[in-house]
Amino acid sequence: MNKWPLWEVFIRSKSGLEHRHVGSLHAADATMAMENARDVYTRRQEGVSIWVVPSKAITASNPEHSGELFEPAQDKAYRHPTFYDLPNELKHI
Amino acid sequence: MSLPIEKLEEEFQAKIDAGHSIEPKDWMPEKYRKTHIRQISQHAHSEIVGMLPEGNWITRTPSLRRKVALLAKVQDEAGHGLYLYSAAETLGISRDELFEQLHSGKAKYSSIFNYPTLSWADIGAIGWLVDGAAIINQVMLTRTSYGPYARAMVRICKEESFHQRQGYEIMLTLCRGTEVQKQMAQDSLNRWWWPSLMMFGPVDAESTHTEQSMKWKIKRKTNDELRQQFIDITVPQADFLGITVPDPDLKWNEEKGQYDFGAIDWDEFWQVVKGNGPCNKERLDTRRQAFEEGAWVREAALAYAEKKEKAKDLAKAV
Amino acid sequence: MKESLYQYLLLLGDNAMILGHRLSELCGHGPSLETDIALTNISLDLFGQVRNYFQYAAEVKDDQEKTTEDKIAFLRYPHEYRNVLLVEQPNKDFAFVIARQFFFDAYHLLLLKELCKSKDEQINAIANKSIKEVKYHLRFSSEWLKRLGDGTAESHDKMQAAVNYLYPYVGELPSESPIEKEMKEAGIGPDLGVLRTAYFAQIKSTLAEATLETPQFFGFHSGGKKGVHSEHHGFILSNLQYMQRTYPEMEW
């Protein structure tokens, strides 16, 4: 009944890098989630910026659908630069 | 398109054998899920209960430098408990349910924390021996098959690296100090040595979970292998301190390239596991009390959050 | 002057140490894991400040037996501790912890803002470092004051009871002692008279935000700054000094 909801914590370890998921925690509200994230996940200077997101706000893909979601990309090699044959002596391309 | 369970299990095992991680939403055998909830939560409970014997000395540290180090260490243990509870929660159980299992005595935690800390040297011995033993287990677990557990362990191992050094430094200072300090260190080793060896669990022949755990890569080495590894690492460290491991049968076996050691008192081990150790009741009471006394606080924070949320909605509606 | 500066550093350091000690008692006993970690962080910040003040105090004191931060922390007589009575008050429940913390943090931040302008370079530097920590402490304790004050009926009553109990101890913080007067005149410490007004205004407004009443004024308890403490103090020292008193003259 008095369970604090779960939050996911994302941290930018230094400016120029993206926020990365580091873990989760419990907090009653966003302010507390932010403070808890600071106290729990940045005790060793791990971050310069924090995002907290209620876990229930995340929609995750279903592993059962992995086939139709991800496998169709497998044979699309033309999206990668190595697909295209060019002579080795060619420079800057 | 649902596959028969045997087929799913086969694919699951193949995935583990190939070294792939299992993630929360992946299909997994019910037993795998339950085993993980049990093991991860036991591990989490150990961190939380483990705060108490060391916490016992926070207000009595002999110097300010030791004070901040010990506070930071015990705080890390709270953090590690939190990471592990979070990992367990990905398996569909709540932290409150896990607490309930701990408080009712249904869930176990590492028996080592049912021993008392009687002197300052015990803080050194815990860091050196207990954390030393834990690290051996934990390093192995960074490669365990369940993704969230493995990631929590990576973080924990990174943070724990100072814990054992902190403990050994305390021991070293004592052993280089006065006669009474050296005695304090020896007395502490005498009391913590055998319980530390018991931390690796029963001998392989009697370990009920080992085989399945190896198959699922929850474990990569057996209890006896890990125990031997610990002894071989730790005995030379005791020698360096100039104190004596309390085992008359301990001696180097040239042929095997490892130490032979004396018989472990497994009666004592099972007594403590069953709840009859020197501090079992006290530790659980303390945890229960903290949780119960915190109930109105957690409830109030939630009520406040709901009030604020409603006020926000109201403002939007207007 | 040197002796006065030394005494002033004790006054600053002792408040942080005794409050840090009280918070450290809670490590492993917090109402949630997250809160446990947060309170320990505050305790660690305070002990960090203590070490800065006492290391400086050890430099200032040019005695023959070469004092150290630890001798200052652990080997004084009870009447030589200069902390205010507020920080000695026990952790009766979480509402007491929060009320005590808020009352101290609100004063502490105002004090550090002034000390950031201190003519004493070291104090100035310590204050500039500490102020960031204390801003966070005040945010933490104010937020919790509001949560508990405006949470459930039960938490409101508990929070109000703690505020009522501890309020008589807040007046000592901005009451000028002879040492503080001397420091003010030397440009090292602030004018507590000015600070006092701001302090009480802030207490009143934050309490109101937390739907709590500011208790009526009946007079304040004091004595800590001149070394006359509450009954709790001796027990704090018996823990704090235990190792140094039981095993004198050893390295740890």
C41/A39 Cβ within 8 A = yes
- Residue whose entry in the numeric block shows the structure tokens 């934990």: B138
- Residues in chain B with CB shorter than 8 Å from the CB of A6 are 86, 89
User: Going by C-beta distance under 8 Å and a sequence separation of 6 or more, which residues neighbour residue C67?
Assistant: C57, C58, C61
Indicate whether C54 pLDDT > 80: yes
* Chain C contact partners (≥3 CB pairs within 8 A): A, B
Beta bridge partners of A11: A20, A50
pLDDT digits (tens, 9 = 90+) for B158-183: 988 899 999 999 999 999 999 999 99
B59/C252 Cβ within 8 A = no
> Mean pLDDT of all residues in chain C?
96
Interface test with C, best of A25, A29, A32, A45 (most C CBs within 10 A): A32
pLDDT digits (tens, 9 = 90+) for B56-94: 999 999 999 999 999 999 999 999 999 999 999 999 999
Phi/psi region, residue B19 (left: phi>0; alpha: psi -120 to 50; beta: rest), is left
pLDDT digits (tens, 9 = 90+) for B256-310: 999 999 999 999 999 999 999 999 999 999 999 999 999 999 999 999 999 999 9
Residue A1: per-residue pLDDT: 41
Q: Do B233 and B129 form a contact (C-beta atoms < 8 A)?
A: no
Q: Beta-carbon neighbour count of residue B14 at 10 Å?
A: 10
Partner residue facing C30 (CB), from B177, B294, B295 = B294
> Mean pLDDT of all residues in chain B?
95
How far does the CA of residue B137 sit from the closest CA of chain A (Å)? 22
Partner residue facing B305 (CB), from A22, A29, A40 = A29
Q: Specify the higher pLDDT residue, A79 or B250.
A: B250
Among chain B residues, the shortest Cα distance to C152 is held by B300
**H or E element, residue B253:** strand B251-253
Strands, E assignment, B107-231: none
**H or E element, residue A12:** strand A6-12
- In whole angstroms, give the CA distance from residue B192 to residue B94: 34
How far does the CA of residue A51 sit from the closest CA of chain B (Å)? 17
B94/A3 Cβ within 8 A = yes
Indicate whether B210 pLDDT > 90: no
- Residues in chain C with CB shorter than 8 Å from the CB of B52 are 28
∠ CA A5-A9-A12, nearest 5°, is 165
Among chain A residues, the shortest Cα distance to B85 is held by A25
- In whole angstroms, give the CA distance from residue C182 to residue C198: 22
- Residues in chain C with CB shorter than 8 Å from the CB of A24 are none
Binding-site residues on chain A for chain C (CB distance < 8 A)? 4, 25-28, 31-32, 35-36, 39-40, 43
DSSP string, B209-229: SHHHHHHTTS-SS-HHHHHHH
Its pTM stands at: 0.95
Domains recognised in chain A with CATH numbers: 6-79 (3.10.20.520)
* Chain A contact partners (≥3 CB pairs within 8 A): B, C
Residue C65: per-residue pLDDT: 73
Domain C2-246 of CATH type 2.30.38.10: no
pLDDT digits (tens, 9 = 90+) for C174-194: 999 999 999 999 999 999 999
Residue B161: per-residue pLDDT: 83
For the four alpha carbons of C245, C247, C248 and C251, in that order, the dihedral sign comes to: negative
Q: Please, which residues 62-121 of chain B have a Cβ atom closer than 8 Å to chain A?
A: 72, 75-76, 79, 82-83, 86, 89, 94-96
- In whole angstroms, give the CA distance from residue B284 to residue B292: 12
- In whole angstroms, give the CA distance from residue C95 to residue C67: 38
Q: Do B78 and B47 form a contact (C-beta atoms < 8 A)?
A: yes
Q: Is residue B59 less than 8 Å (CB to CB) from chain C?
A: yes
Indicate whether C224 pLDDT > 70: yes
How far does the CA of residue B231 sit from the closest CA of chain A (Å)? 32
Q: Is residue A34 less than 8 Å (CB to CB) from chain B?
A: no
Residue B2: per-residue pLDDT: 65
C152/B303 Cβ within 8 A = yes
Q: Let me know how many helices (H) and strands (E) chain C has, helices first.
A: 10, 0
How far does the CA of residue C211 sit from the closest CA of chain A (Å)? 19
- In whole angstroms, give the CA distance from residue B214 to residue B31: 14
pLDDT band at residue C171 under the 50/70/90 scheme: very high
Closest CA to C167 of C233, C102, C250: C102
User: Going by C-beta distance under 8 Å and a sequence separation of 6 or more, which residues neighbour residue B212?
Assistant: B31, B35
Residue C41: per-residue pLDDT: 97
Closest CA to C115 of C137, C134, C139: C134
**What average pLDDT does the segment B1-10 reach?**
81
- In whole angstroms, give the CA distance from residue B139 to residue B144: 10
Q: Do C210 and C149 form a contact (C-beta atoms < 8 A)?
A: yes
For the four alpha carbons of B252, B256, B258 and B259, in that order, the dihedral sign comes to: negative
How far does the CA of residue A88 sit from the closest CA of chain B (Å)? 37
Q: Which residues of B56-90 are buried (b: 16+ CB within 10 A; e: fewer)?
A: bbbbbbbbbebbbbbbbbbbbbbbbbbbbbbbbbb
Phi/psi region, residue A30 (left: phi>0; alpha: psi -120 to 50; beta: rest), is alpha
Indicate whether B111 pLDDT > 90: yes
Query: ipTM of the predicted structure?
Result: 0.96
How far does the CA of residue C41 sit from the closest CA of chain A (Å)? 7
Residue A66: per-residue pLDDT: 84
Give mean pLDDT in consecutive 10-residue pieces for chain A, a chain of 93 residues: 85 95 96 95 94 95 87 88 90 85
- In whole angstroms, give the CA distance from residue A64 to residue C29: 43
- Residue whose entry in the numeric block shows the structure tokens 């755990």: B213
**What average pLDDT does the segment C2-21 reach?**
97
**What average pLDDT does the segment C83-107 reach?**
98
∠ CA B38-B41-B43, nearest 5°, is 105
Q: Is residue C44 less than 8 Å (CB to CB) from chain A?
A: no
Query: Taking CB atoms and an 8 Å cut-off, how many pairs form between chains A and B?
Result: 51
Residue A2: per-residue pLDDT: 56
* Chain B contact partners (≥3 CB pairs within 8 A): A, C
Report which residue type is found at C248. Answer: P
**What average pLDDT does the segment B232-259 reach?**
98
User: Going by C-beta distance under 8 Å and a sequence separation of 6 or more, which residues neighbour residue B152?
Assistant: A23, B40, B80, B83, B84, B86, B87
**What average pLDDT does the segment C57-86 reach?**
93
Closest CA to C20 of B52, B294, A40, B64: B64
Q: Is residue B252 less than 8 Å (CB to CB) from chain C?
A: no
Q: Is residue B185 less than 8 Å (CB to CB) from chain C?
A: no
Indicate whether C150 pLDDT > 50: yes
B85/C29 Cβ within 8 A = no
How far does the CA of residue C105 sit from the closest CA of chain A (Å)? 17
A28/B305 Cβ within 8 A = yes
C37/A39 Cβ within 8 A = yes
- In whole angstroms, give the CA distance from residue C177 to residue A79: 76
Q: Report percent pLDDT > 70 for chain B.
A: 99
- Residues in chain B with CB shorter than 8 Å from the CB of A2 are 295, 298-299, 302
- Residue whose entry in the numeric block shows the structure tokens 């808890």: A36
